[in-house]
């Protein structure tokens, strides 16, 4: 495992574009640190400080930071599809196989890299969230601080699943731009499936139930939007705005299932392809 990971990291380090994209991928999620210190002055009448609104209290902060950090996963997605695109354009994939790397090891090297960067991003976001929470939160009990820390697990699984999808599209299309375009196409296809199911069953709720099992939607559902929850903390009596924002085990299983399928399909594509 370490040997395969080292091989892939050496390739990325030697590529200037990849280094820049990886740097951006790790830096942008920390804009939440900047948000926590923003003060907005409303024409001198009063100053709004986001950190004083309670949105960085434990345990809700785990939800908020992981949701916003996950919005920047597209930058490392470019790195993932570029890893494959460069292998084909530079013909290094054929050279690696000639040098003794099996096709299974080639795919595993990519997947181990995905796990490595996903884990690194999760640890950094977890550390940043913990420090912001300690500074702003009015709750200091350990049971409250670490409640809902499962959002970090959801964040990690979400990254691994999304990047595995990018790996599959990269292997399927061999070109970075086409692979990224297919992400958008898949997004549209999932909404078309939702529309067809809702139309056939005459029920939007059934349409959403089906859509929740599709790749992109299942990854999104791991960490639902926190805006409604923030409003709920300010207006706890409004039952009509309540919703299920928790991380569920079955949602994690669905994404892990898609992840395994995408890695397997990537291997099958490479195994059957004439290089």
Helix and strand numbers (H, E) in the chain are 14, 2
pLDDT score of 4 more than 90 = no
Helix (H) or strand (E) holding 82: helix 73-89
Q: What is the pLDDT of residue 164?
A: 96
Q: Which of 72-76, 95-99, 138-142, 257-261 has the lowest mean pLDDT?
A: 95-99
Q: What is the pLDDT of residue 132?
A: 84
For the segment 117-123, the average pLDDT, to the nearest whole number, is 93
DSSP symbols for 27-73 = HGGGHHHHHHT-EEEETTTEEEEGGGTTTTSTTHHHHHHHHHHHTTH
Q: Could you give the CA distance from residue 25 to residue 115 in angstroms, rounded to a whole number?
A: 14
- How many C-beta atoms surround the C-beta of residue 7 within 10 A? 16
Confidence at residue 55, expressed as pLDDT on a 0 to 100 scale = 75
Share of the chain above pLDDT 90, in %: 39
In the chain, where the domains are located: 2-272
- Please give the model's pTM, rounded to 2 decimal places: 0.90
- Position with higher pLDDT, 54 vs 80: 80
């Amino acid at each position: 495992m370490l040997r395969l990971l080292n091989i892939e990291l050496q390739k990325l380090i030697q590529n200037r574009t990849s280094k820049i994209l990886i740097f951006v991928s790790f830096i942008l999620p920390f804009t939440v640190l900047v948000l926590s210190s923003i003060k907005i002055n409303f024409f001198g009448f009063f100053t709004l400080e986001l950190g004083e609104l309670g949105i960085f209290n434990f345990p809700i902060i785990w939800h908020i930071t992981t949701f916003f950090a996950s919005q920047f996963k597209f930058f490392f997605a470019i790195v993932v599809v570029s890893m494959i695109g460069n292998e084909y354009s530079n013909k290094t994939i054929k050279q690696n196989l000639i040098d003794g790397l099996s096709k299974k090891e080639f795919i595993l090297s990519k997947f181990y890299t995905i796990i490595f960067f996903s884990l690194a991003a999760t640890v950094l976001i977890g550390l940043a969230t913990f420090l912001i929470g300690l500074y702003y939160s009015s709750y200091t009990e350990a049971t409250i601080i670490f409640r809902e820390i499962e959002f970090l697990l959801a964040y990690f699984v979400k990254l691994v699943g999304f990047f595995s999808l990018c790996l599959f599209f990269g292997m399927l299309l061999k070109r970075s731009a086409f692979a990224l375009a297919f992400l958008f196409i898949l997004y549209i296809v999932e909404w078309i499936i939702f529309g067809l199911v809702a139309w056939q069953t005459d029920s939007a709720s059934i349409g959403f139930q089906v859509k929740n099992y599709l790749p992109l939607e299942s990854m999104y559902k791991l960490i639902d939007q926190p805006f409604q929850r923030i409003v709920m903390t300010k207006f706890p009596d409004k039952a009509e705005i309540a919703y299920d924002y928790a991380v569920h085990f079955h949602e994690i299983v669905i994404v892990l299932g898609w992840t395994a399928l995408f890695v397997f399909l990537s291997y099958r594509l490479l195994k059957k392809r004439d290089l």
